[in-house]
């Protein structure tokens, strides 16, 4: 018999995918260049030439059995060493090979992290607005994702609601800064306060509570800043990283889980992850991709276009009177819709070939997400359309 819980999931529609489908359909009618598709978070900047050059060099110089051969379960030693050295150099935390577990990008890092710390019935908290996949990612492990309502004024953390939701079943707090969908970067104050509350809760409930820090947008931060490194503020931190955005490599599925050396159990967590892999069918990311990133460990694609696009949109949106928190990073912006029903708002925008995603999917109804990982030229062409849309529909 087929397992019913997966059949039951088939009915549910993804709003984002549905909108992307509509955008594609409209694109076939009027030319995709005329559809202002802000629905999908797909990197739009090219992969750096060095990655492709490294791959070609590896294919040309390494013995094929070695290049394409099995890597040990936690990943290639040279890849783990490169990640550890880079993190240590950058954040001053003594990561070593044994703290690094190479994964098939962030989704896989998260799948391991959840299973490290939570069993069926345990709770993992996250903060709205949040990446909607966190729901099935966590709930299908048997643990329960609890969503703390958003602080809609700042999209930092709503600490009162957070403390209301913490309890003895909380085994981890899942954070995502820089954040999808808000573009917000948690301030140092936010991270410090989060860490203080969790240290108190650990004492109160007499067990570790881990921060699982999902950081695919870590390198996309604006105004020359850096996102606070969570492990600096809280020992029990598991970092989940992906090269999907920083190197525009989402299809190659390459990333890692990095355990803070100061975490409780840091010496065994990567070995535990190897056991977890056996149950979920993970057996290392692609060998050639592990080598390609290891040899270009501090490289990023030219991410500056995202900041350019953000500024264009932010200035236009505020000029039109939108309430919007200025993004500190990512390639998302999350303004308040001009009516309470953000689904209706997004539907009206569609008539102008503007594709935006209602905030309901992200646990923040009344807002909408624009993913501006598109060409700047297109962002520019979309601005007068955005203006016409809000003038005609909302008399702004």
Q: Scanning residues 101 to 140, which ones bind its own copies (CB under 8 A)?
A: 103-105, 107-112, 115-119, 133, 136-137, 139-140
Question: Residues of 242-257 as b/e, b for ≥16 C-beta within 10 angstroms?
Answer: bbbbbbbbbebbbbbb
Q: Residue 57 CB, nearest distance to its own copies (Å)?
A: 10
Q: Residue 182 CB, nearest distance to its own copies (Å)?
A: 22
The answer to whether the CB of 270 falls within 8 A of the CB of 72 is no
Give the interface size with its own copies as a residue count (CB under 8 A): 75
The answer to whether the CB of 231 falls within 8 A of the CB of 100 is no
The answer to whether the CB of 182 falls within 8 A of the CB of 213 is no
Q: In terms of CB distance, is 175 or 249 closer to its own copies?
A: 249
Using CB under 8 A, which residues numbered 147 to 186 contact its own copies? 171
Q: How is 219-259 classified by DSSP, letter by letter?
A: T-BSTT-----GGGT-SSEEEEEESTTTSS-GGG--EEEEE
Q: Does 268 bind its own copies (CB under 8 A)?
A: yes
- Applying CB under 8 A, among 157, 284, 324, 386 the residue interacting with its own copies is 284
Task: From 172, 190, 255, select the one nearest 218 (Cα to Cα).
Answer: 255
Task: From 14, 136, 133, 43, select the one nearest 332 (Cα to Cα).
Answer: 43
- Applying CB under 8 A, among 283, 304, 318, 347 the residue interacting with its own copies is 283
Using CB under 8 A, which residues numbered 315 to 374 contact its own copies? none
Q: Does 286 bind its own copies (CB under 8 A)?
A: yes
- Give the range of 83-91, 145-153, 266-274, 376-384 binding its own copies by CB under 8 A: 266-274
Which residue do the tokens 């090979």 mark? 97
Q: Does 61 bind its own copies (CB under 8 A)?
A: no
Q: Does 74 bind its own copies (CB under 8 A)?
A: no
Q: Does 384 bind its own copies (CB under 8 A)?
A: no
- Give the range of 6-14, 25-33, 159-167, 363-371 binding its own copies by CB under 8 A: 6-14
Q: Residue 391 CB, nearest distance to its own copies (Å)?
A: 34
Q: Does 27 bind its own copies (CB under 8 A)?
A: no
Q: Does 302 bind its own copies (CB under 8 A)?
A: no
Task: From 239, 230, 233, 214, select the one nearest 84 (Cα to Cα).
Answer: 239
Q: In terms of CB distance, is 145 or 390 closer to its own copies?
A: 145
- Applying CB under 8 A, among 24, 144, 197, 288 the residue interacting with its own copies is 288
Q: Residue 134 CB, nearest distance to its own copies (Å)?
A: 10
- Give the range of 39-47, 179-187, 320-328, 378-386 binding its own copies by CB under 8 A: 39-47
3-state class (DSSP) for residue 3: coil
3-state class (DSSP) for residue 346: helix
Q: How is 308-322 classified by DSSP, letter by letter?
A: HHHHHHHHHHHHTT-
Rounded to whole angstroms, the Cα distance separating 183 from 317 reads 15
3-state class (DSSP) for residue 136: helix
- Applying CB under 8 A, among 90, 204, 207, 351 the residue interacting with its own copies is 207
Q: Residue 129 CB, nearest distance to its own copies (Å)?
A: 19
- Applying CB under 8 A, among 195, 221, 269, 356 the residue interacting with its own copies is 269
Q: How is 158-208 classified by DSSP, letter by letter?
A: -HHHHHHH--TTEEEEEE-SSPTTT-----HHHHHHHHHHHHHHHHHHTS-
């Amino acid at each position: 018999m087929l397992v019913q819980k997966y059949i039951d999931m088939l009915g549910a529609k993804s709003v984002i995918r549905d909108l992307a489908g509509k955008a594609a359909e409209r694109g076939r009618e009027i030319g995709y260049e005329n559809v202002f598709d802000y629905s999908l978070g797909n990197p739009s900047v090219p992969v750096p030439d060095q990655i492709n050059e490294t791959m070609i060099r590896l294919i040309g110089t390494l013995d094929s059995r070695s290049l394409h051969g099995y890597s040990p379960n936690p990943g290639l030693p040279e890849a783990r060493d490169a990640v550890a050295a880079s993190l240590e150099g950058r954040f001053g935390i003594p990561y070593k090979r044994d703290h690094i577990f190479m994964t098939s990008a962030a989704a896989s890092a998260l799948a391991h992290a959840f299973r490290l710390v939570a069993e069926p019935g345990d709770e993992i908290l996250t903060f709205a607005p949040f990446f909607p996949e966190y729901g099935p990612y966590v709930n299908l492990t048997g643990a329960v994702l609890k969503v703390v309502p958003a602080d809609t004024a700042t999209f930092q953390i709503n600490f009162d609601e957070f403390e209301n939701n913490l309890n003895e079943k909380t085994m981890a707090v899942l954070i995502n800064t820089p954040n999808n969908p808000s573009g917000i970067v948690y301030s140092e104050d936010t991270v410090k306060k989060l860490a203080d509350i969790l240290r108190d809760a650990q004492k109160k409930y007499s067990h570790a509570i881990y921060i699982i820090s999902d950081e695919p947008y870590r390198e996309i931060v604006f105004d020359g800043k850096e996102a606070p490194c969570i492990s600096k503020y809280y020992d029990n931190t598991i970092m989940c990283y992906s090269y999907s955005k920083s190197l525009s490599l989402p299809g190659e599925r390459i990333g890692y889980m990095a355990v803070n050396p100061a975490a409780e159990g840091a010496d065994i967590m990567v070995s535990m992850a190897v056991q977890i892999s056996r149950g979920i069918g993970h057996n290392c990311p692609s060998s050639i991709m592990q080598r390609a990133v290891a040899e270009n460990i501090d490289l990023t694609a030219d991410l500056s276009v995202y900041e350019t696009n953000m500024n264009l949109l932010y200035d236009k949106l505020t000029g039109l009177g939108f309430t919007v928190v200025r993004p500190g990073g990512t390639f998302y912006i999350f303004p308040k819709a001009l009516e309470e029903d953000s689904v209706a708002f997004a539907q009206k925008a569609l008539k102008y070939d503007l594709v935006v995603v209602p905030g309901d999917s992200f646990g923040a109804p009344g807002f909408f997400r624009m993913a501006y990982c598109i060409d700047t030229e297109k962002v520019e062409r979309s601005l007068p359309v955005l203006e016409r849309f809000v003038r005609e529909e909302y008399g702004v």
